[in-house]
Amino acid sequence: MTIPRFHEALERGIFTCEELIKFYLWRIESLDRQINSIIAINSEAITRAKELDAVYAKNGLCGPLHGVPVLLKDNCETFDMPTTAGSKSLEGWLSGSDAAVTQKLREAGAIILAKVNLHEFAIWGETISSILGQTINPYDFTRTAGGSSGGTGAAIAADFGLVGIGTDTINSIRSPSSANSLCGIRPTVGLCDTGGIVSYSNTQDVVGPMARTVEDAVRTLDVIANHGRRPASYIISLKPGGLKNKRIGVLESFFGKNQENEPVNQVVKPALSELEKAGVQLVSVCLPIDSAWLTTDVSVHLYELKEYLAEYLTQKQAPVRSIDDILASGKYSTNIKDVLLAANGLGTGMTEYSRRLELAGELRQSLLELFKRESLDALVFPHQQQLVCKIGGKQAQRNGVLASVLGWPSIVVPCGFSPDEKTPVGIPVGIEFMARPFEEPALIEIAYGFEQSTPARLRPYLSTDSNTVAITLSVSDAAFDINSEEFSHRLHLISGVLAREENIANSLAPLLNGLFDNFSLPHNVYSEFLAERAHRFFTVISSGEIPDSLLGKQMAGCGQGLTPSSDDFLVGVSAALYGGCAAYGLETTKEQCHALVMGAVPHTTSISAFFLRNASNGYFNERIARLMTAFFASDSHENLTSAAKELCEMGATSGMDTLAGICFGLKGMKSPIL
């Protein structure tokens, strides 16, 4: 789901703001125990969604983010929810006002759905707080989610909201974006108002968007950016072919040269070749700088922390008002103690602080001359020279510090995944593009062009059953190839997981999502593919027998153009219906499901009653009844296929929602089932 698709779905009446909010609340309740990202839910979110539905019914969209659920890093103030900065020293504290960015989001129609975890006081990069603990990477439960905006990164990757807000002092928007296969934008210092955000370093702090697509991030930036040195809209920079004729410098010193850097280099180096294929002229840039030197000898973050944090806390009359107060309270995570103690001995009046600012100024001038001399539009490098660290470790070799000490804008976008046999998809790797001040439009063109020409994002595998290995099969629209070797490999992976499962019903819901999350294939190809998979998978699954060798062979042969008979097709879909009912505790039989599929049950009212009578999951009762009624009532091919796509994306772990989407798609393709 994206912002444009959501608004299109509103227009078509596929679902409402209230339904979307309830869906995300259900996902958070079902899945966040696996990644530990949400600090607090907005208790007024549903009420606000209802208000926006009433506004929409009368006047249409109230703003560019109408009804969009936003996840807010919990160092951004909200007048109606506590702002903790991840620290127990601020637990329950209400500032009584909105941060500037929060206010702009609300004015644009967004709904603040939840506040998310961060590394306490945004101090480092592993997203550990005393208020919630550590956030886990949804792609690999043994790794961190990056930081400090790791709660935003993990939650958006897990689809707990449409867009998220992070803050960035050194790496903190782009690190979790890289680690969670997202787009994260660090804007030019001063472009977005940081008022009402718990301060760290006034020289380097920024606030910016994080999203699953470049477009969603840009639409959010368009709302939160100040007027002044910005275009009327950043959205116009979302241009197809935006890479053509761009000159981009490859910053060679930001690529690691050791063994631990190879997993990242093996993902990023091929991406550079793709840039060239898309029309970019790459220029090798050799500068005597590296990220370690910039962090330890140029960045001023530690010199400003004591002064600016105390200034913020005192002005806001917070329960603690200085580093000394925080330390004395004992209400903080021990992992930030050394940083607090170090910062407490530093300040902006020191000679070293002035020297660092002067050094940053010299570097800024040097790079401006480089950009002019080489006619560069941007620099490119891996955001992180080695993979995001394991839990218990510390982040290392992150390159985002360059843009931070310069105050320049940069964007991280998904580049691909480093293979790891212990993870379903692999470990995300992000690529970073950096430009001169206020040249966000050029960066957006580049990032969007890269995303469109090199689609790299896959969804993480999460399951509603905490004892179940996540088994969703995620495939991006642009890269979906049912005959590819990669696709067969993923099917084998799923077959192995299923063979180990004890509770087939609980495994079915996430499986349904992956199997039917793409309705954009040509109808003649997709109908064969759908029928073959329905028959092969669900007749076996619903019988309760999952021989690994048989299922593995069937999966490997999937999508090879086999044309099943009409009977096979009907049997497979009725088995899917039965399995979906079982996954949600619906009391029904195979015979009832088969009768429903065959049309033996009268249409419309009887079908609605069937679902309402048997469903036990409160959220889905009315929704499924309405969908099924609309399914049998509608004759519009275009509306049905569009609804199918949206419903399957919405039903990420819902067997019933996805099943409804399947039915829409089948009718839209004029399948033999009807």
Instruction: Of 189, 139, 186, give the one whose Cα is nearest residue 166.
Output: 186
Segment 169-201, tens digit of pLDDT: 999 999 999 999 999 999 999 999 999 999 999
pLDDT at 458: 83
pLDDT at 656: 38
Q: Are 648 and 513 in contact (CB under 8 A)?
A: yes
Q: Is the pLDDT of residue 635 over 70?
A: no
Q: Which residue has the higher pLDDT, 469 or 139?
A: 139
Give the alpha-carbon dihedral of 265, 185, 250, 448, to 10 degrees.
90
pLDDT at 595: 53
pLDDT band at 589 (very low <50, low <70, confident <90, very high): low
Among 25-34, 212-221, 443-452, 629-638, the range scoring the smallest mean pLDDT is: 629-638
Q: Which residue has the higher pLDDT, 20 or 359?
A: 359
Instruction: Of 184, 167, 134, 166, give the one whose Cα is nearest residue 34.
Output: 134
Q: Is the pLDDT of residue 461 over 50?
A: yes
Residue 466 to residues 33, 193, 427, 509, 650: CA-CA distances in angstroms? 8, 40, 21, 13, 21
pLDDT at 8: 86
pLDDT band at 593 (very low <50, low <70, confident <90, very high): low
pLDDT band at 14 (very low <50, low <70, confident <90, very high): low
pLDDT, average across residues 208-215: 97
pLDDT band at 502 (very low <50, low <70, confident <90, very high): very low
Element (H, E) at 429: strand 427-434
Q: State how far the Cα of 271 lies from the Cα of 450, in Å rounded to an integer.
A: 9
Segment 392-423, tens digit of pLDDT: 999 999 999 999 999 999 999 999 999 987 88
Q: For the residues of 121-140, what is the DSSP string, one character each?
A: GG-SSS-EETTTEE-B-TT-
Q: Which residue has the higher pLDDT, 593 or 645?
A: 593
Q: For the residues of 271-305, what is the DSSP string, one character each?
A: HHHHHHHTT-EEEEE--S--HHHIIIII--HHHHH
Find all residues with CB under 8 Å of 71, minimum gap 6, and list them.
113, 114, 115, 116, 151, 152, 155, 156, 160, 161, 163, 164, 165
Find which of 4-13, 441-450, 469-478 is predicted with most confidence, using mean pLDDT. 441-450
Among 81-90, 268-277, 370-379, 488-497, the range scoring the smallest mean pLDDT is: 488-497
Q: Taking the complete model, does pTM exceed 0.85, yes or no? A: no
Instruction: Of 57, 138, 79, 6, give the one whose Cα is nearest residue 474.
Output: 138
Segment 646-660, tens digit of pLDDT: 444 443 233 333 444
Q: State how far the Cα of 124 lies from the Cα of 147, in Å rounded to an integer.
A: 6
Q: Is the pLDDT of residue 541 over 60?
A: no
pLDDT at 442: 97
Q: Is the pLDDT of residue 476 over 60?
A: no
pLDDT, average across residues 137-156: 96
The strand pair at 69-73 and 281-285 is best described as unpaired
Phi, psi dihedral angles at 433 (to 5 degrees): -115, 135
Percentage of the chain lying above the pLDDT 90 cut? 61
pLDDT at 673: 28
Query: In the block, which residue shows the tokens 């073959």?
Result: 532
pLDDT at 591: 60
On average, the pLDDT of the chain sits at: 78
Q: Which residue has the higher pLDDT, 168 or 669?
A: 168
pLDDT, average across residues 215-234: 95
pLDDT at 638: 47
pLDDT, average across residues 242-261: 97
Q: Is the pLDDT of residue 510 over 50?
A: no
pLDDT band at 469 (very low <50, low <70, confident <90, very high): very low
Phi, psi dihedral angles at 115 (to 5 degrees): -110, 140
Phi, psi dihedral angles at 594 (to 5 degrees): -65, -40
The strand pair at 133-134 and 247-251 is best described as unpaired
Q: Is the pLDDT of residue 36 over 90?
A: yes
3-state DSSP helix/strand/coil % of the chain, to nearest 5: 50, 10, 40
Q: Which residue numbers are catalytic?
A: 73, 148, 172
pLDDT, average across residues 447-473: 66
